[in-house]
Chain A
Amino acid sequence: NAGVTQTPKFQVLKTGQSMTLQCAQDMNHNSMYWYRQDPGMGLRLIYYSASEGTTDKGEVPNGYNVSRLNKREFSLRLESAAPSQTSVYFCASNQRSEQFFGPGTRLTVL
């Protein structure tokens, strides 16, 4: 089992560019999450999907959109990147309380 996978691992964007972060899990989990992590801020929830076909906003959704493509895949899209979106992005999934994390994407917006 690969667990939770994310692509890409690193990305540099210019302000205004768009991109999609991909996430997939092979643990047959219902729930999936996108977080961003900034120094000293812990993990902040951007969007989550409690089950296939549903998505909901988390704590910091502005500037992002998500798609729960199927039970395995949950993508995060930045339509017009801003320097404030420079961060490390983690995808996670769970069935019960314990969440399993992907390796993260380090995104820099210039």
Chain B
Amino acid sequence: EDKVVQSPLSLVVHEGDTVTLNCSYEVTNFRSLLWYKQEKKAPTFLFMLTSSGIEKKSGRLSSILDKKELSSILNITATQTGDSAIYLCAGSPGYMDSNYQLIWGAGTKLIIKP
């Protein structure tokens, strides 16, 4: 059965700290791993990773995929209160019908204290 597990489930840090969020996956014919940020509304796309070891960066956020370990991390440096959100990880399996379903983790709730 396909599954994606995120850890920790919740995290509270102070502004300026660096955080690392974890995602492990078991996904049929793995295609890619995606990270989303969810504030008080719909999830918004952050990164998609398909190749192992290649880091994707956007400002203070970065992510890397380890295909050998079937895992990914999302790093946020110099955190700000605006980074407070739920961070969702999803695996994209390669099903035979070309359906692009995503298998979602439960999310990590990140709270940044001023």
Contacts and interface: CB of A to CB of B under 8 A. Distances in A.
Contacts of A33: 101
Interface residues of B, number: 23
B106 A42 contact: yes
Interface stretch (A13-21, A77-85, A94-102): A94-102
A49 to B, nearest CB: 9
Contact of A97 (B9, B31, B42, B106): B31
Interface in A16-52: 31, 33, 40-45, 48, 50
Contact of B107 (A42, A56, A96, A102): A42
A98 to B, nearest CB: 6
Main secondary structure of the interface of A (DSSP, over half): loop
Contact of A94 (B9, B100, B104): B100
Interface string B74-114: 00000000000000101010000111111011110000000
Interface string B27-43: 00001101000000111
Interface in A60-110: 90, 94-104
Contacts of A104: 41-42
Task: Report, as a range, how many residues of chain A touch the other chain.
Answer: 20 to 34
Contact of B34 (A31, A42, A95, A98): A98
A41 B106 contact: yes
B44 to A, nearest CB: 8
A102 B43 CA distance: 9
Given A50-B97, A103-B42, A97 B102 contact: yes
Q: 5 shortest A-B CB distances, which residue pairs?
A: A101-B42, A42-B106, A97-B92, A50-B99, A43-B104
Interface of B: 9, 31-32, 34, 41-45, 48, 88, 90, 92, 97-102, 104-107
